[in-house]
């Protein structure tokens, strides 16, 4: 068997080298969360062994060490997403927090009664509910962009719906259900022509492809550390300085203030104005370590690797009778997220049966209930590949689908 180019990565992920239900684990739930390489675990351990202290406030050696590592991580992230300055990189708990901050702070500032907020039918709940809440509060309209038959954005509909009433368009860069990649720059141009603003949910994009927030011309861009080999509880909100400057913080307290008087206070400059309280210092350091790991492999290479797996597996999946695939077939428009259903078998039963074969996939609505309704599916099963997955595992995945089908449809034999 030829060694695959990414096969050797497995040694960096102890958790992947285990037996589950008497079978070698094939972890295909990377859209939910990814595993952490030894380098990230080491970075966390080293930080706690050598440098743990609170940031920004101390003058002692450990405090300075922790502060410089925390702020150094911000610079690593800035460079990774090509933001122009670290003032535009805010640490959050993850994509959900980032999107809530934008809806509550920026939305509060610019959305008025009768205005329109535009999202799409492929959004994750965390890019729906904050806008629903804002629309209700402001008496604004929440409007959905339609999808094509194969799950891509219907660009004609998008263009028609972006008007001078559109204050905010908030769109996922990559769908966590369909794997489809949206043309962010094109939409940014349309939104900006109408003097609106574009918010991008990058949770499923930043881990899988090179992202340049300036080239995309996104006004805000959100993502999570845990989906890109980093720890849970750390994420990022990128925002253009001119917009962040105008916004009020969502949380108030220590670390984010300049002066506090009895009745009034002033805020620190960006990015600290938004980061109230002791931040997730170890999380930021762990995320920077994850980015070093990804950069060593190269985001172009990672994207190419996932494409090759999708290209390899699509014909095999299409050949399975009774299997429905959601999202575009063309690899140029998608990542390694593959949602599917098998006729006559509930997706939860599919996921349970596949787990018996050691293959970890997810089943459910994937936090995208409006999309499920739109596609007329109660749920789907979903496999999501990442850099450490191999073609051999993709084969195992196909075999597990066939075994599942036989188990349920032909009975026990």
CA distance 143 to 135: 10
> H helices then E strands: how many in the chain?
14, 17
Q: Which residues bind ligand PMP (CB under 6 A)?
A: 31, 94-96, 124, 126-127, 172, 176, 201, 203-204, 224, 367
Q: How far is the CB of 409 from ligand PMP (least distance, A)?
A: 31
Of 31 and 135, the one with the shorter C-beta distance to ligand PMP is: 31
Of 115 and 201, the one with the shorter C-beta distance to ligand PMP is: 201
Torsion sign (Cα): 242, 205, 98, 47: negative
Q: How far is the CB of 100 from ligand PMP (least distance, A)?
A: 9
Q: How far is the CB of 377 from ligand PMP (least distance, A)?
A: 17
Q: How far is the CB of 224 from ligand PMP (least distance, A)?
A: 3
Contact 194, 170 (CB under 8 A): no
> Could you report how far apart the first and last alpha carbons of the chain are, in Å?
31
Q: How far is the CB of 97 from ligand PMP (least distance, A)?
A: 7
Among 39, 155, 257, 367, the one annotated catalytic: 367
CA distance 178 to 337: 6
Of 67 and 175, the one with the shorter C-beta distance to ligand PMP is: 175
CA distance 380 to 368: 11
Q: What are phi and psi of 53, to 5 degrees?
A: -165, 165
| Cβ neighbourhood burial of 18 (10 Å; 0-12, 13-18, 19+) | exposed
Question: Between the CA of residue 36 and those of 63, 127, 150, 244, 294, what are the distances in Å?
Answer: 27, 26, 33, 32, 11
Of 118 and 323, the one with the shorter C-beta distance to ligand PMP is: 118
Of 94 and 328, the one with the shorter C-beta distance to ligand PMP is: 94
Q: How far is the CB of 367 from ligand PMP (least distance, A)?
A: 6
Is 367 catalytic? The answer is: yes
CA distance 296 to 111: 42
Q: If you write DSSP's letter for every residue of 235-261 in order, what string do you get?
A: EEEEE-HHHHHHPPPSS-STTSEEEE-
Of 96 and 105, the one with the shorter C-beta distance to ligand PMP is: 96
Question: Residue 122: enclosing H or E segment and its boundaries?
Answer: none
What residues are labeled active site?
367
């Amino acid at each position: 068997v030829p060694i695959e180019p990414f096969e050797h990565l497995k040694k960096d992920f102890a958790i992947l080298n285990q037996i589950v239900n008497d079978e070698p684990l094939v972890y295909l739930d990377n859209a939910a969360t990814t595993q952490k390489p030894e380098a990230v675990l080491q970075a966390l351990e080293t930080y706690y062994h050598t440098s743990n202290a609170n940031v920004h406030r101390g003058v002692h050696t450990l405090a300075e060490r922790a502060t410089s590592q925390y702020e150094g991580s911000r610079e690593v992230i800035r460079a990774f997403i090509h933001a122009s300055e670290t003032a535009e990189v805010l640490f959050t708990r993850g994509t959900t927090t980032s999107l809530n901050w934008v809806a509550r702070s920026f939305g509060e500032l610019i959305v008025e009664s009768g205005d329109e907020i535009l999202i799409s039918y492929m959004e994750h709940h965390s890019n729906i509910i904050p806008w629903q809440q804002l629309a209700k509060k402001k008496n604004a309209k929440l409007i959905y962009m339609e999808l094509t038959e194969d799950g891509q954005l219907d660009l004609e509909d998008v263009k028609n719906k972006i008007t001078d009433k559109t204050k905010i368009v908030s769109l996922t860069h990559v769908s966590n259900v369909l794997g489809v990649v949206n043309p962010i720059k094109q939409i940014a141009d349309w939104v900006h022509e109408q003097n609106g603003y574009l918010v991008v949910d990058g949770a499923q994009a930043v881990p899988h492809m090179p992202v340049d927030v300036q080239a995309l011309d996104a006004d805000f861009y959100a993502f999570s550390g845990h989906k890109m080999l980093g720890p849970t509880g750390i994420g990022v909100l990128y925002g253009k300085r001119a917009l962040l400057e105008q916004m009020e913080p969502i949380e108030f307290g220590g670390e984010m203030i300049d002066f506090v008087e009895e009745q009034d206070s002033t805020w620190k400059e960006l990015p600290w104005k938004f980061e109230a309280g002791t931040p997730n210092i170890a999380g930021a350091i762990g995320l920077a370590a994850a980015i070093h790991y990804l950069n060593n492999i190269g985001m172009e290479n990672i994207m190419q690797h996932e494409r090759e797996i999708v290209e390899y597996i699509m014909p095999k999946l299409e050949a399975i009778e009774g299997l429905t695939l959601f999202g575009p077939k063309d690899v140029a428009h998608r990542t390694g997220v593959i949602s599917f259903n098998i006729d006559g078998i509930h997706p939860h039963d599919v996921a349970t049966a596949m787990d018996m074969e050691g293959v970890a996939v997810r089943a459910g609505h994937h936090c995208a209930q409006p999309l499920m309704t739109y596609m007329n599916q109660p749920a789907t099963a979903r496999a999501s590949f990442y850099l450490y997955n191999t073609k051999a595992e993709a084969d195992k995945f196909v075999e597990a689908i066939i075994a599942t089908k036989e188990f349920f449809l032909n009975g026990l034999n």
